[in-house]
Each structure stands twice: as C-alpha cells, then as structure tokens.
Amino acid sequence: MNPVLEEVVAELAAAPQSAAALTLYALVSTLEFERAGYLFKLAKLRDLTAAQRQLAYRLIEMMAQGQNHGADWQAAKARMDGLVRGA
C-alpha cells in the first residue's frame, strides 16, 4: 500500500473518532469526487496538528498526480471506512 495511505490508516486507527481522524477521512472521501470539484472546507485543516496537515497535503499531492483511485486507494479507503464506522 502507498506509504501516505498507510500513514492515514494509522492515524485513523489510533483514534478513529477524533476530530483529526474524521477530518483526514473527510479529505480522503472528498478526493474521490472530481466531478464535484473536490469540495473540502480548508478551514478544517486547523483541526490538525502540523504533522497531520503535512499528511493532508501529501494526500492532495496524490490527487494532483492522479493517484486518488485504483486498488491501493480503494483498499485503504475500505480500511478507513471500517475504522470510522467501528467495524
């Protein structure tokens, strides 16, 4: 799995219901919807630590490089879905 996605999954696993985890999860979810313009409220980045913001920026860079889909992305997203939903 992509190291950035592994890091996001680890952040969510550490505290799945925290504001930071939910913000990162929302960003990942948003980055799947190009047709909707990737609508994400940037002010939510304030809920993240500096290190978590750097992780968010790396996710955005993945999108810019067209890496926000495919097997790795879908596998990581499925793990995140389960963490956030408590499964």
Residue 81 carries which side chain, given as an amino acid letter? D
The answer, as to whether pTM is greater than 0.95, is no
Q: Is residue 45 predicted with pLDDT exceeding 70?
A: yes
Instruction: Tell me whether residue 12 is exposed, middle or buried, using C-beta atoms within 10 angstroms of its C-beta: 0 to 12, 13 to 18, 19 or more.
Output: buried
What is the structure's pLDDT at 1?
A: 84
State yes or no: pLDDT of 87 exceeds 90: no
Cβ partners under 8 Å of residue 69, min gap 6: 32
What φ, ψ does residue 17 adopt, rounded to 5°?
-105, 10
Is 29 inside a domain boundary? yes
| pLDDT tens, position by position, 23-36 | 999 999 999 988 88
Domain contains 57: yes
Instruction: Determine, yes or no, domain membership for 32.
Output: yes
The domain tally of the chain equals 1
Handedness of CA 17, 23, 26, 32 (dihedral sign): negative
Question: Do the domain assignments include residue 87?
Answer: no
Q: Which domain holds residue 73?
A: 3-82
Q: What pLDDT score was predicted for residue 24?
A: 97
- Is the pLDDT at 73 greater than 70, yes or no? yes
